[in-house]
Structure 1
Amino acid sequence: MKILSPRVLRALERFNAAYPWDHNAHYHRWILRQLPRHSDRALDVGSGSGDLARLLAGRADTVQAVDSDPVITAQAQKLTPSGLPVTFTVADAIAELPSGPYDVITCVATIHHLPFTQALTRFRRHLAPGGTLVIVGLSRAQTPVDHLLGVVAIPANAATGWLKNKGRPSPRPVSMTAPTRSADMAFGDIVREARDVLPGVRLRRRLFWRYTLVWNQP
């Protein structure tokens, strides 16, 4: 569905580049609200620069953070104070996850890079009884509701960028260091497959082209 003309899209791209902000970090505080105040072990899958892993270290005795990109993992390690109980590992999220079980597993903007059902099955096996899985993911717009949320997100995205940058354009462009690709699963397919693997899972569409998934291991 074409919502905006190419000219308007180019103007928005220039504005967003001038007032950048992190869509994934926007949900970090929400993620923490879904988790227990304290846990023994936490796992962050697709940890990137380590922002969420460092926040989890305030809630867990130990945090394992895994990412397949060695460059961004090295950056995350450098940014992490030596006293924090976080271990960064370069690993495949399907075949090489550090041994569980974990009381908390988080995964932000990563699962669309993975075989979805296989990844959920893997996370379920690594989650301790009573543990919590929280995913913030991307989906492909398909339904009228999806496209409506996309339309609403466009001005909200620009306004949020302006506010977070306090009305001052960024002095230099922001570049992505990790590989990215568009989501290929629609939200309805995500819901159906997630319910097959995780009975009782809670999913919700969100602003800024994201959805959330929360599940508690029985």
Structure 2
Amino acid sequence: MTKPPGRIAEALDTFHAARPWDHNAHYHRWILRTLPRRFGRALDVGCGTGDLARALAGRARSVDALDADAATVARGRALTPPTAPVTYTVGAAPDALPPGPYDVITCVAALHHLPFTESLERFRAELAPGGTLVVVGLARSATRRDRLREVVSVPLNVLMALVKNGGRQVPRPAAMTAPVRPPTMTLAEIAHEAELVLPGVRVRGRLFWRYTLVWRDDSGRRG
């Protein structure tokens, strides 16, 4: 992430510490628009406190939610109504993935914590024919276009903080308390490696220091 220098960066950090908003949750509506209106089984990898898993449960027959942080998963369970068809599991992907097949697999701000190629291979293996994989991830800035998106994101980030919080100072959302790690792969590296595992995958750089990856298994067969 590229930040303005000196006092401007310090002022922005202070502003956002008092008025935080969840960049990952910002993409949840986009994820739902990308997915079918109804589907059977869904898997949310790196589920955190379960915000997306609960949203998927409004469309799915059942949702498996996986995260490596036990405290975060416990918070998710506490926030989830008993009648919601969401099952939480503590474990690290890709080894701890519950067995598929899944009609939908989502992974938000977690893939850069995992072995990239191995995880995509496992997601593909557990995806049902005709299923959809959606990733919202973080990439390391490397190009002029990357830096331009970051520059544009800075004022928009301030505007979104004011709109979402009504200008008020607010506590940090529970979903933003999970452990974090800086990304190491560039967007070009992500797109190249993903194409090797998921032919026809769509990878796009996005605002607010995120990228999206969408792949649909249209082959109708495994392999």
Deviations 1:131-170 (A, max 9, x none): 0000000000000000000000000001100110011122
1:78-157, aligned counterparts within 5 Å? Answer: 78-157=78-157
RMSD of the TM alignment (CA)? 1.3
> Which residue in 1 is equivalent to 2:21?
21
Q: Distance in 2 between matches of 1:173 and 1:131?
A: 35
SS in 2 for 1:24: helix
Structure 2 unmatched runs, 5+: 219-223
Alignment identity in percent?
58
With the length of structure 2 as denominator, give the TM-score of the two structures: 0.94
Q: Distance in 1 between matches of 2:108 and 2:172?
A: 23
> Which residue in 1 is equivalent to 2:221?
none
1:24-39, aligned counterparts within 5 Å? Answer: 24-39=24-39
Structure 1 unmatched runs, 5+: none
| Code of the aligned partner of 1:181 | R
Q: Distance in 2 between matches of 1:33 and 1:167?
A: 28
Deviations 1:79-135 (A, max 9, x none): 000000000000121111101000000000000001111110010000000000000
Distance change (3 Å), C-alpha of 1:52 and 1:174: closer
Alpha-carbon offset, residue 2 of structure 1: 6.4
Aligned length, in residue pairs: 217
Q: Distance in 2 between matches of 1:85 and 1:69?
A: 21
Q: Distance in 1 between matches of 2:192 and 2:145?
A: 17
Is contact 1:67–1:73 with CA below 8 Å preserved after alignment?
yes
Alpha-carbon offset, residue 74 of structure 1: 0.4
Q: Tell me which stretches of 4 or more aligned residues in structure 1 moved more than 6 Å.
A: none
Is contact 1:17–1:174 with CA below 8 Å preserved after alignment?
no
With the length of structure 1 as denominator, give the TM-score of the two structures: 0.96
Alpha-carbon offset, residue 177 of structure 1: 2.8
Q: Distance in 1 between matches of 2:181 and 2:149?
A: 20
Q: Distance in 1 between matches of 2:18 and 2:89?
A: 33
| Code of the aligned partner of 2:189 | D
Q: Distance in 1 between matches of 2:84 and 2:9?
A: 42
